[in-house]
Structure 1
Amino acid sequence: MRTTRPDGNCFYRGFAFGLCEWLMTLAEPEDVTRVVSVFEASKADLLAAGFDEFIDDFWAMTMAPLRAIKGGNYSHDDLLACFRDQERTEYIVQFMRFLVSLHLAKNADFFQFFIEGSGLSVDEFRRIEVEAVGRDADHVQITALTAYLDLAVRVVYLDQSTTADGAASEIVIPDGGRPVCTLLYRPGHYDVLYE
């Protein structure tokens, strides 16, 4: 297990780290090309959706390790150094939040049903629960991020949702997808889990 800082950004940090590890070690070359291409195009998607130009710094900081991974010029030590650097990690985490916000905005009709219980509109939810630093991610945010990236994640729950035989429950989001990483969820916190 690789622990993440328990600061409300742990899902995004853990997912980004797990994604990079997958790209470096398990992904097929065409998967690497596809994922990096999605991130490359995301800046234009964000700008077209009305996000401010300042997203460029967040995008560039996120693209640096992805491009190096694609080029075969990134070691596991480089990845660890990147994610141990608080400034770089905060940029990557915030960029992941922007991608979630973008997907929610583009699919507001679909997500409104899932957000209704919060008493917020999709725009309010994006501003308060997604784009704000330190806000925990839940199923809505995970679904939006994995849908935008066309990837899957496995979440193992160590909370009150154990199975009848007492084992931890787990889900893959989206259902039936091939997970790029596994995250361990304990109430309010995610860590990267290795199998």
Structure 2
Amino acid sequence: MEQGRTCSIIIPFNIFNNTTGSKIDPKETKKESKGTQEKDTQLCNSTNKNKTSTDRPGISRWSGRKASVSTQHSWAVASYLLVSEKYDIVRFIEEHDKDLMYLDKLQDLQVRYYAVRATCADGSCFYRGLAYAYLEILLGKSEELKGFRERVSHSRDELLAAGFTEDRFKQNYDTFISLIDESEKDGLVDNLLRSFNQPEISDSVVQYLRLVTSAQVRKRGDFYMPFIDEEQTIEDFCVQNVEPMVALCDHVQISALTQALTIPLIVEYVDSLDKDVIQHVFSQGASQSVYMLYEQNHYTVLYKREQV
């Protein structure tokens, strides 16, 4: 089976494709980003769906979780609505056996990956999946966890520099730091998974990561400007496409967040128009990379075979 092409997107878009040598067109990227924002229809159910976030008036944490995922995924049980238990990739592929445009490419992933961990498709699947998967990798690695804690701590200063007031993010920041500290002390996957399925913890982490992403985009506004819709300013993009809890995530947001917190990430991109699975490298570092699958406007955590 073909392993597909690899595009290194440590800095997104304005780079050369490693296989073809062709430059990525920012206009095409904008179209793809806009399409992604419009298509995600798989939404998760929550027993707290009417609860409204107190961290930012007017944004409901639960407004997107309307349709039950129990008919979509066999992992969906009451206690794991946000992040699933890890399960065999074969089972995941079977859940997509009617998606003929994607099926062959998903089957190709079995060569490199043995399991997946699904995330709720509520608009925050990328942020939630990335945060969980990276902390899971760091469990039992005290020095690396301390390094990540330092980077998250430093991001607080970046938020202030970007113009966010401390009362906008303090609660979410404190929750995230506490979760990192508990991960270092505890080191158990089961407890980390339980924490990420508690909305008051999980959504706080997501909301903080969104603000970190927004601050990074604002900080490097001149760089990112060519890759957003022409009618938007950087401020508009961040307010509309980054900060709301239901705003979907695309290349700009991924690049900004992984660079801001130095999170090594590789995304396997499955698209109906491409013949092969396209692998995007967004950031690389000394620690083990997070692997994620992007297909049909949704992100799923992948587990590489050598991680067994």
Given the two structures, how large is their TM-score scaled by the length of structure 1?
0.88
Residues of 1 paired with 2:271 and 2:290: CA distance? Answer: 20
Give the letter aligned to residue 268 of structure 2. Answer: V
Match of residue 154, structure 1, among 252, 266, 286: 266
1:38 and 2:159 correspond = no
Residue 171 (structure 2) aligns with = 57
Change (3 A) 1:189 1:118: farther
Local SS of the residue matching 1:194: strand
Q: Runs of 4+ in structure 1 displaced over 3 angstroms?
A: 176-179
Judge conservation of contact 1:9–1:133 (CA < 8 Å) in 2: yes
Q: Which runs of 5+ in 1 are unaligned?
A: none
> How many percent identity over aligned positions?
32
Match of residue 161, structure 2, among 21, 34, 48: 48
Residue 188 (structure 1) aligns with = 297
1:21 and 2:153 correspond = no
Residues of 2 paired with 1:45 and 1:84: CA distance? Answer: 28
Deviations 1:58-104 (A, max 9, x none): 1011111111223x323111101111112211111011100000101
Judge conservation of contact 2:172–2:204 (CA < 8 Å) in 1: yes
Residues of 2 paired with 1:170 and 1:161: CA distance? Answer: 15
Residue 10 (structure 2) aligns with = none
Give the letter aligned to residue 194 of structure 1. Answer: Y
Residue 67 (structure 1) aligns with = 181
Residue 121 (structure 1) aligns with = 233
How much does 1:150 deviate? 1.7
Choose between structure 1 and 2: higher helix proportion.
1
Residues of 2 paired with 1:144 and 1:15: CA distance? Answer: 13
Q: What is the Cα-based RMSD across aligned positions, in Å?
A: 1.8
Name the larger-Rg structure.
2
Give the letter aligned to residue 249 of structure 2. Answer: A
How much does 1:118 deviate? 5.1
Q: Identify which of structures 1 and 2 has the higher relative contact order when contacts are C-alpha pairs closer than 8 Å and 6+ apart.
A: 1
Residues of 1 paired with 2:149 and 2:166: CA distance? Answer: 21
Residues of 2 paired with 1:67 and 1:109: CA distance? Answer: 35
Given the two structures, how large is their TM-score scaled by the length of structure 2?
0.57
